[in-house]
Amino acid sequence: AQSVTQPDIHITVSEGASLELRCNYSYGATPYLFWYVQSPGQGLQLLLKYFSGDTLVQGIKGFEAEFKRSQSSFNLRKPSVHWSDAAEYFCAVGGGSNYKLTFGKGTLLTVNP
């Protein structure tokens, strides 16, 4: 069975600081990996995805993520956080014949001015 662990429930950073959100997955084959962001009262917006190829993927809003197969990780990074980045971030894994996504519990990001 596929699963996703986001070890950090809540992270607080200062505006302008760098950010790394952790994600570990469990999947028996080559995974399809995603990061989504959810602002209060909003749906989930796709930030970036990894299907194959280059293990460093670029997304929207200046985010990037690195796939490390040996560590079963897909951590999300941003070099300089903006106040508008405050939201909840979800890592998800998919694959197989049914294409369903399995989500982590999410990491809530607070940005201090």
Partner 1 sequence: DSGVTQTPKHLITATGQRVTLRCSPRSGDLSVYWYQQSLDQGLQFLIQYYNGEERAKGNILERFSAQQFPDLHSELNLSSLELGDSALYFCASSVGFGQFTPQHFGDGTRLSIL
Phi and psi at residue 27, in whole multiples of 5°?
-160, 140
CA–chain centroid gap for 56, Å, is 13
Instruction: Give Cα separations from 17 to 8, 9, 78, 79, 112 (angstroms).
Output: 17, 19, 9, 7, 10
CB of 76 to partner 1, least distance (A): 16
Work out which of 3, 45, 80, 84 binds partner 1, going by CB under 8 A.
45
Stretch that binds partner 1, among 8-16, 17-25, 39-47, 78-86 (CB under 8 A): 39-47
DSSP 3-state of 98: coil
Q: Does 69 bind partner 1 (CB under 8 A)?
A: no
Q: Does 94 bind partner 1 (CB under 8 A)?
A: yes
* Contact residues: partner 1, CB under 8 A: 32, 34, 36, 41-46, 49, 51, 90, 94-95, 98-106
